[in-house]
Structure 1
Amino acid sequence: MALGLRLDLRQTQSLVLTPQLQQAIRLLQLSNHELIGTLRSETEENPFLEIAETAASPKQAPAPVAQPSARPERDNAGDWDQPRPPRALDQQLHGPRRDPDAAGQGSFEARLSELPSLRDELRRQIGMLTADPGLRRLAFDLCDWVDDEGYLREPDALIAERTHAGIERVAAARALLQRCEPTGIGGRDLAECLALQLAERDRLDPAMRRLLDNLPLLARADWPALQRLCGVDRDDLEEMVAELKALDPRPGHAFASEPQVTLLPDIVVYRTGPDAWRIELNPEALPRLVVHGDYHAELTRSGLDLRQREFVNERYQNATWLARAL
């Protein structure tokens, strides 16, 4: 076997992981919030980079300031003869919903002061209404079940199952909660909420109770049926309805609600067919970089030395590459 030397020319292709490519791969693995943090670090080191204002960061609604709202006086007669949609009953009785976030309400000092939340105020009142520690703790737990409108809509049986308490004990805790102010807190539905307020005014007579039991008929403006069920004439029925209109269907709105935090999704999924879906990055959630090319041109014309020019060109190239990578 003969041994010898030979020179061959061979052409091959291979992928070289340059620093820029490595950084691009690392950026793909980051979530939106992690990506924003990385870009902020880059903008601190690179004078040619700036993060444009986008909707990527969480939006926190301003804490509402509770203000008493005066309900406009409306004519009680005439428009009640027309039937309404079933869900229009609340607006018939009490007008549109009060917007606690409405601009222009309250003084500057009122906006600076932090109002107590509904649940904090309920716990404060419950602590003064009973000396039974067990009942107090159970009533404190019920405060977490109260929604922002002041309703405790879950039935006692479900609450007893979740809290591992007897149903009689839950009923006693609900009754304690319903003694709190504003009156109407802890009602299961609109009828019970209004009944609590009427009972405080000593106006929950049998006719009014039958009216509350038939609120769907009031939503349909079925006056003959209501007069027959309540045992009153038309004038008395209109007076009863006027009393309902003076009540508050959402007593929980008298307190500050917890601020809402809205997060934008990283991806958006579209259905394009019976069994086809398209997944896209949410453009509103992606950060956007601004590269200041005019600043680079100005520095280039300013007579920099070799070392400074190399630094400026390197930073500008990194900025333009990072903007393309996004």
Structure 2
Amino acid sequence: MAMSASLHLKQSQSLVMTPQLMQSIQLLQMTHFELTQFIEQEVQKNPLLEISPSDGAPAPVSDDGPDMSSDAAMAPRSDSDWFETANTGQAERLTKELDANFEPDFDTDQAERRPDSPELVGQWKSMPGGQGDDGNDFDMDDFAAAGLSLREFVNQQIPFAVSGAADRLIAQHLVDLLDDSGYILPELESVAERIGRPVGDVERVLSILQTLEPAGIFARSLSECLAIQLRQKNRLDPAMSAFVSHLELLARRDFQSLKKLCGVDEDDLLDMLAEIRRLDPKPGSAFTRSASETIVPDIVVNPAADGGWNVELNPDTLPRVLVNQSYYAEVSRHAPRDSADQAFLSECMQNANWLTRSLDQRARTILKVASEIVRRQDGFLRRGVDGLKPLNLKTVADAIKMHESTVSRVTSNKFMMTPRGVYELKYFFTVSISSAEGGDGHSAEAVRNRIRAMINEETADTVLSDDDIVDILKAAGIDLARRTVAKYRDAMNIPSSVQRRREKKAMARIAS
């Protein structure tokens, strides 16, 4: 068969991911903080973009002077401007009068009061810069020095506890190995090899460091941490030592084995258990200071007058981006055509228009998805978790005529403020559990909440097994297998019925 080269024309359509389309997709899944950072970067790069001032912010003043048509012209002048005006003669007369009538006119009793007296504290709070009722003024606590870290706190105690340059070198190396909870790695051999000292010296210095504050630091395990705290309280007797050495039995609520190992009766074991509960398993966590992140809801849901729900975008999360059309027209008029400056301005205008359209489309998409979620989860807003219905991304996507991936991006890291609290949009999407009587299914989150509520209402004599929970749920119309109940219980960190019965009996004896 002869082979020859030939040319053919073929027409086809394909979806091309342009850079702007990719950025639009990224904008959709950005959080409020990420979106704010992105807009600030775009404003710095694009001279045609401006961030509109929020309500109450002063209006910008041009360099040419005050504009009498703006609010800025009505602003009061400073003190230096007042003295430089035509009122100079009045100012001089006022100065002479003050000099002639300079008499001390203040309360001498008030001057003798302590600065921290309640009378003066109340006056200071009403002065400018004090803490007013609105809570917007500064507080002196904001200027306080940062607290000590765990390592800094321990380093302050080492000179008083450890003597000798070699021992202090070992101690400093052990301090560097402390984690945020106050524990160190158990392999002392590797530590001794790394610093070139005998293992015995490292163990001796470690025993000294274990006497420092906070009690329980420099432990290599939870048992050793509790033992250190009990030793400092002079409560580490042989029975208590055996108790903390077998914490795995305590985790399984195997009190019978613990009584045999410790050689105590049930009352003594309950006293030991109560004392263990008063100890700190993470003594170093008190020095951990992590910045708390404030969740800003993107959607606000409030009851409507007609019995429905008002779904609105949070105005605090809406970016205020404007395109300066007048500046573009002014610069374009002076820039020559077919120049690099004109091409740069055109590109900036194109990018600015794209950004404003993308932000508007992002807001509309979020509002559309949130409105559909509220419509389908009306039972949750009225009755709580028990009214939560099963929902998936495809159902919402089909209802609003969008792709499933778009709904997934919208619901990522977005929060909704409802009358029942602030929830992530992903929270409203749960798996469906079939009903025992047919009809609509039940939400997995609602079923887990019902299981948790049943277990919380248990007493020592009415502990429910997994089979009992299955029977109760089936009577309520929820068809659930026993292994599924066990899986939900383990996911909620709820022990088995045997362990719960032992714990509830022990707690009942402690309470009595």
Change (3 A) 1:237 1:305: closer
Equivalent residue for 1:250? Answer: 282
> More deviation in 189-198 or 251-260?
251-260
Counterpart pick for 2:181 among 133, 149, 153:
149
Whether the 8 Å contact between 1:210 and 1:230 is mirrored in structure 2 is yes
Q: Distance in 2 between matches of 1:111 and 1:247?
A: 33
Whether the 8 Å contact between 2:332 and 2:342 is mirrored in structure 1 is no
Equivalent residue for 2:201? Answer: 169
Equivalent residue for 2:346? Answer: 317
Q: Distance in 2 between matches of 1:167 and 1:258?
A: 35
Q: What CA deviation, in whole Å up to 9, does each residue of 1:41-84 have, x standing for no partner?
A: 98557421469xxxxxxxxxxxxxxxxxxxxxxxxxxxxxxxxx
Change (3 A) 1:203 1:304: closer
Counterpart pick for 1:307 among 334, 338, 341:
334
Equivalent residue for 1:48? Answer: 48
> Which of the two has greater helix per residue?
2
What aligned pairs does 1:165-314 form with structure 2 within 5 A after superposition? 165-257=197-289, 292-293=322-323, 295-296=324-325, 298-299=326-327, 306-307=333-334, 314=343
Whether the 8 Å contact between 2:171 and 2:206 is mirrored in structure 1 is yes
Change (3 A) 1:110 1:307: closer
CA apart distance, 1:322:
5.9
Q: Distance in 1 between matches of 2:272 and 2:224?
A: 16
Q: Distance in 2 between matches of 1:299 and 1:149?
A: 57
Q: 3-state DSSP class of the match of 2:158?
A: helix
Q: What CA deviation, in whole Å up to 9, does each residue of 1:71-107 have, x standing for no partner?
A: xxxxxxxxxxxxxxxxxxxxxxxxxxxxxxxxxxxx9
Q: What CA deviation, in whole Å up to 9, does each residue of 1:143-191 have, x standing for no partner?
A: 1111100011332112112222210111122112212101111011111
Whether the 8 Å contact between 1:48 and 1:315 is mirrored in structure 2 is no
Whether the 8 Å contact between 1:148 and 1:257 is mirrored in structure 2 is no
TM-score by length of 1: 0.54
Amino acid at match of 1:307: H
Whether the 8 Å contact between 1:148 and 1:253 is mirrored in structure 2 is yes
Q: Distance in 1 between matches of 2:183 and 2:245?
A: 18
Amino acid at match of 1:318: E
Greater length-normalized contact order (CA 8 Å, ≥ 6 residues apart) = 1
Counterpart pick for 2:166 among 129, 134, 143:
134
Whether the 8 Å contact between 2:328 and 2:345 is mirrored in structure 1 is no
Q: What CA deviation, in whole Å up to 9, does each residue of 1:214-266 have, x standing for no partner?
A: 11001111111111111101110000010111111111012145779xxxxxx
Give the % identical residues: 35
The gaps in structure 2 that reach 5 residues or longer are 1-36, 52-138, 293-318, 355-512
Q: 3-state DSSP class of the match of 1:170?
A: helix
Amino acid at match of 2:346: Q
Q: What CA deviation, in whole Å up to 9, does each residue of 1:95-140 have, x standing for no partner?
A: xxxxxxxxxxxx9617843011101111111122122111011101
Whether the 8 Å contact between 2:183 and 2:220 is mirrored in structure 1 is yes
Change (3 A) 1:250 1:42: closer
Q: Distance in 1 between matches of 2:197 and 2:141?
A: 44
> More deviation in 109-118 or 160-169?
109-118
**How many residues in Structure 1 have an aligned counterpart in Structure 2?**
208
Amino acid at match of 1:47: P
Equivalent residue for 2:151? Answer: 119
Change (3 A) 1:299 1:225: same
Whether the 8 Å contact between 1:217 and 1:225 is mirrored in structure 2 is yes
Whether the 8 Å contact between 2:223 and 2:245 is mirrored in structure 1 is yes
For the pair shown, which has the larger CA radius of gyration, 1 or 2? 2
The gaps in structure 1 that reach 5 residues or longer are 1-36, 52-106, 261-288
**CA-based RMSD:** 4.1
TM-score by length of 2: 0.35
